[in-house]
Chain A
Amino acid sequence: MKASGINTPKLIRDLFRYLTTLITAGIAIAWSIPVLWTLVASFRPARDAMTRGNVWFGSALTVENYQRAWSLAPFDRYYVNTIVVVLIILSVQMVTITLAGFAFANYEFMGKKPLFFFILLQMMIPTTALLAPNFATIRILGLYDTRLAIAIPFFGSAFGTLLVRQAFLEVPRDLVDAGTMDGCAWWQLILHVYLPPSVPALIAFGLSSATWHWNNFLWPLVITNSDRSRPLTAGLVRFTQLGEIGARWSLLSAATLMVAAPLFILFLIFQRRFIQSYLHSGLK
């Protein structure tokens, strides 16, 4: 707390600082216990009783829970599905938001404002809320229980369009005019003038979009019906309901962490990037 020590003697100020650190540390530890506990529990033998002593200070460490979880449910399949879905969404979104963002930043045209507001509708009504009618649409399109069905409602992104438009508007008009004078076609303008300075904005959007779709659950749950297309999140919930899992917490812990791990590790490596991207795009 920056302002804490104003107009107080140094000793009290230092004491206050140490106390703040101590309190912060206490809350931080409490906040981390669930995940730390799960991490340790996932490496404890499944036959051990789940008492606190056994989990924190147990005798043996083992990876058998991970092997067992992997053999009980096709997690490899779930991984592939999640990764494919996220990659499909990201690659299509990058194209659609760049094109739309470019149109809104570079052109004046009839109906520009109403069309922009129409797209923004997607930000006011989350797609998740429309799962019942969208389910019907997917059935009609014949896409039920496919990975494409999980991805397709997110092919257009109001938020991405907004971000790209903003980034493109910051490109100096002189640069655009110079490009036009040189005879650049519209796609050359995008590639050579607009995109290069806007890469950070696109990365920011990409990271938060990837996080959101890696973690998404409800829509994939209703639109998939087999392991052919089921992603990690829906697979995990199915796994927890398997008869043979019961109250095997070390097994559950392993499965839970497997689902969260890849994104978590990426986050640890690129922490600053991720946080920047969340700040950029609070709406995910």
Chain B
Amino acid sequence: MPRTGKRKPFKLAPYVLILPTVFFVALFTAWPVLQSFYQSFFQQRMTVARLREPTFIGLGNYTRLLTDRYFIQVILNTVSYVVGTVPISILLGFLFALLVNRKLKVVSIFRLAFFHPMVMPMVSAATIWLFFFTPEYGLFNSALRFLGYTGPQNWTGNPNLALLSVMIVAIWKNSGFYMIFYLAGLQNVPESVYEAAALDGANAWQVLWRITLPLLRRTTVFVVTIAFIDAFRTVDHVFVLTGGGPSRASSLLLFELWRQRFENQDIGISAAITVIFVLVLLTFTVTNFLISEREGA
């Protein structure tokens, strides 16, 4: 074993030390990506006897997916879900952070109130909300009725509301999580910055837009990244609330992947969805990386 850190010509030690990590990343991240890529060019369905053995069909799985009305619906759902949950959760997280960034005793209770949904499993959160969306006695409907709304009431079973109910649970669960990042960011802003702004006669609004937000740029980039990835990889609430229905009105990409692989047993299609999924994630993370590199963040 080499004893000195640097300066020696060749050492086996570092390779042995990283071997376990490299091995598991290779086996459960790199290999499955390659395998999916390969399988996506084959037709293979376990539920149909003559399709059990893979047959090469080129881009067949991809063309089938992109011409499938339901799959397009799933893509659109996923886009709506991301667009509808990410900005709102982050905005709420920021608002909560502003509200609880004070030196008051009671504030720690407020923080807990905003943050606690994050500590529970998404399946628990969704089960709790299941009740609030029920037609007969859901609190959510009572609240809507109180506000004078008497429209459709069965939230999770209504094609127009199913996706919205999935989104509401995600926003409720995640906003508090983003709050803690903004709170940490706010507490890093030195008091003197605000004092200087006061001397210059800036009002609260100007301080928020011209000073606080620009100073929290890096926090925002970071929070957007984790919020985006989370929006793609968490579908636990879809399982509990709607099962992707009615007729896939609330299905998301990962849920559709699960359905194709484990309900339809369609290996080829699920491999193609995996590839699409991985491409979306890589495009996002790489773009994000390049942007933050360029800005030197």
Partner-B contacts on A (CB < 8 A): 1-7, 20-21, 23-25, 27-29, 31-35, 37-38, 41, 50-52, 95-97, 99-100, 102-104, 106-110, 112, 115, 118-119, 121-137, 152-153, 155-158, 161, 176-177, 180, 183-186, 211, 214-218, 221-222, 232-233, 236-237, 240, 247, 249, 252-253, 255-257, 259-260, 263-264, 267, 271, 274-275, 278-279, 282-283
Establish whether residues A6 and B131, one from each chain, have CB atoms under 8 Å apart when the complex forms: no
Contacts of A153 in B (CB 8 A): 24, 28
Establish whether residues A185 and B3, one from each chain, have CB atoms under 8 Å apart when the complex forms: yes
Also in contact, A137 and B106, with CB within 8 A (given A156-B24, A282-B222): no
B 199-218 to A, binary, CB cutoff 8 A, 1 in contact else 0: 00111100110011000000
In the bound complex, what is the Cα–Cα distance between A102 and B13 (angstroms)? 10
Contacts of A124 in B (CB 8 A): 281-282, 285-286
Also in contact, A24 and B29, with CB within 8 A (given A31-B172, A218-B258): no
Establish whether residues A125 and B23, one from each chain, have CB atoms under 8 Å apart when the complex forms: no
B26, B172, B180, B278: the one within 8 Å of A129 (CB): B278
In the bound complex, what is the Cα–Cα distance between A278 and B241 (angstroms)? 27
Q: What size tier do the contact residues of chain B reach?
A: 35 or more
Contacts of B13 in A (CB 8 A): 103, 107, 186
Contacts of A180 in B (CB 8 A): 3-5
Contacts of A112 in B (CB 8 A): 14
Establish whether residues B198 and A100, one from each chain, have CB atoms under 8 Å apart when the complex forms: no
B21, B120, B208: the one within 8 Å of A156 (CB): B21
Give min CB distance, A68 to chain B, whole Å: 16
Give min CB distance, B59 to chain A, whole Å: 19
B81 within 8 A of A: no
Contacts of B10 in A (CB 8 A): 110
In the bound complex, what is the Cα–Cα distance between A211 and B121 (angstroms)? 9
A115, A123, A247, A271: the one within 8 Å of B22 (CB): A115
Also in contact, A109 and B121, with CB within 8 A (given A96-B24, A156-B22): no
Give min CB distance, B95 to chain A, whole Å: 9
B116 within 8 A of A: yes
In the bound complex, what is the Cα–Cα distance between A31 and B115 (angstroms)? 9
B20, B106, B113: the one within 8 Å of A100 (CB): B20
In addition to A20-B99, A28-B114, 12 A-B residue pairs with Cβ atoms within 8 Å of each other are A6-B202, A28-B113, A34-B172, A103-B15, A118-B22, A121-B29, A132-B271, A136-B35, A137-B31, A185-B3, A253-B128, A256-B124
Interface residues of B in 245-273 (CB under 8 A from A): 254, 257-258, 261-262, 267, 270-271
B197 within 8 A of A: yes
- Closest residue of chain B to A239 (Cβ to Cβ) is B127
Q: From B50-58, B83-91, B134-142, give the one contacting chain A.
A: B134-142
- Closest residue of chain B to A1 (Cβ to Cβ) is B98
Partner-A contacts on B (CB < 8 A): 1-6, 10-11, 13-15, 17-18, 20-33, 35-36, 39, 96, 98-102, 104, 106-107, 109-110, 112-125, 127-132, 134, 137, 139, 142, 172, 176-177, 180-181, 184, 186, 191, 194, 197-198, 201-204, 207-208, 211-212, 222-223, 226, 229, 232-233, 235-236, 239-240, 254, 257-258, 261-262, 267, 270-271, 274, 277-278, 281-282, 285-286
Also in contact, A6 and B261, with CB within 8 A (given A115-B18, A211-B119): no
Establish whether residues B197 and A6, one from each chain, have CB atoms under 8 Å apart when the complex forms: yes
In the bound complex, what is the Cα–Cα distance between A217 and B122 (angstroms)? 8
Also in contact, A52 and B226, with CB within 8 A (given A28-B114, A240-B240): no
In the bound complex, what is the Cα–Cα distance between A180 and B3 (angstroms)? 6
Give min CB distance, A140 to chain B, whole Å: 11
Q: What are 27 A-B contacts with C-beta separation under 8 Å?
A: A1-B98, A2-B102, A2-B191, A3-B212, A6-B202, A27-B96, A31-B176, A34-B132, A96-B20, A96-B21, A99-B21, A103-B14, A103-B15, A107-B11, A122-B29, A129-B232, A131-B257, A132-B32, A134-B28, A137-B31, A152-B28, A157-B21, A218-B236, A218-B239, A222-B262, A240-B127, A252-B127
Establish whether residues B24 and A267, one from each chain, have CB atoms under 8 Å apart when the complex forms: no
Also in contact, A278 and B204, with CB within 8 A (given A3-B212, A137-B27, A218-B258): no
Establish whether residues A282 and B254, one from each chain, have CB atoms under 8 Å apart when the complex forms: no
Contacts of B15 in A (CB 8 A): 103, 109
A3, A103, A282: the one within 8 Å of B208 (CB): A3
In the bound complex, what is the Cα–Cα distance between A68 and B238 (angstroms)? 27
- Closest residue of chain A to B175 (Cβ to Cβ) is A31
Establish whether residues B11 and A233, one from each chain, have CB atoms under 8 Å apart when the complex forms: no
Contacts of A247 in B (CB 8 A): 134
Establish whether residues B127 and A282, one from each chain, have CB atoms under 8 Å apart when the complex forms: no
- Closest residue of chain A to B206 (Cβ to Cβ) is A3
Give min CB distance, A210 to chain B, whole Å: 11
Establish whether residues A130 and B197, one from each chain, have CB atoms under 8 Å apart when the complex forms: no
Contacts of A107 in B (CB 8 A): 5-6, 11, 13-14
Also in contact, A259 and B17, with CB within 8 A (given A126-B229, A217-B239): no
Contacts of A158 in B (CB 8 A): 21, 25
Establish whether residues B32 and A134, one from each chain, have CB atoms under 8 Å apart when the complex forms: yes
Contacts of B222 in A (CB 8 A): 282
Contacts of B115 in A (CB 8 A): 275
Establish whether residues A97 and B29, one from each chain, have CB atoms under 8 Å apart when the complex forms: no
Establish whether residues B17 and A256, one from each chain, have CB atoms under 8 Å apart when the complex forms: no
